Amino acid sequence: MRVEEQQEQWQSFIKGSNKAFEQLYVQHVKLLFRYGLHLTGNRELLEDVIHDLFVYLHDKRSSLPQQVDSVQAYLLISFRRRLMRRLKEEIPSFTIEILPERELATEKHAGSNIEEKEAAEEKKQLVSYINETLTPRQKQLLYLRYREQLGFKEIASIMEITTQSAKNLMQKTLQKLREAILSKSNKRLKSIS
C-alpha cells in the first residue's frame, strides 16, 4: 500500500471509520506478531498486547495524531513500548533475542546426505555465533531493516534514535558481522588443516 493510501486510511480511522480500523488491524497484525516473536516467544502475551494496542487505538482515536509519517512505524513503536512494559512487569530481567537459534529448514530435509547435514550444522553454528556476537540493538536493527524492510527513518523512530545514528549503527553492525563471519571461517579452516 502506498504511503498516500496509508495516510488516507489513517485519516478515515481517526474520523471514526470502523472499516478503516478493521483494515489497519488486518494489514498490520501479522507484522506486529512477527516482530513480537523476535522479542519474546510468548505467543499468548503477544496476542494480548496486540489486542490491547488495537483496543487502545479504537478507544482513543480522537486523541491520536492526525498525521503520522508512517502508519507501520507508528504501530510498531506503540506495540514495542507496550510489549516492553509488559515484559518488564512479568520478567524483570528479560533480554531481546532477535536472531533466535532455530532448527534450519535445510537440516530437516538433509536426509542421509552427510554433506548436507554438515552444511546445515555449519549454518546453525554461524547463526549461534552471530547471535553471541551482536548486541540486542544490532539484532533489532537487522531485523527491522532486512526482515521488515523498513527505511532508516522508520527504524530510527522505532528504536528511538536519530536517522543518522541508525545508519551509523548499521555500518558498525555490518562490519561486526563481516568480522564475525571471517573469524568463524578462519577458525574452521585452521581446524581442517
Domains in the chain with CATH codes = 3-90 (1.10.1740.10), 105-192 (1.10.10.10)
Q: How far apart are CA 33 and CA 106, in angstroms?
A: 25
pLDDT tens for residues 123-164?
777 777 777 888 888 888 888 888 888 889 989 988 889 999
In this structure, the number of other CB atoms found within 10 A of the CB of residue 15 comes to 11
Q: How far apart are CA 80 and CA 86, in angstroms?
A: 10
Q: How far apart are CA 170 and CA 15, in angstroms?
A: 38
pTM score: 0.61
Residue type, 158: I
Q: What is the pLDDT of residue 108?
A: 47
Q: How far apart are CA 127 and CA 123, in angstroms?
A: 6
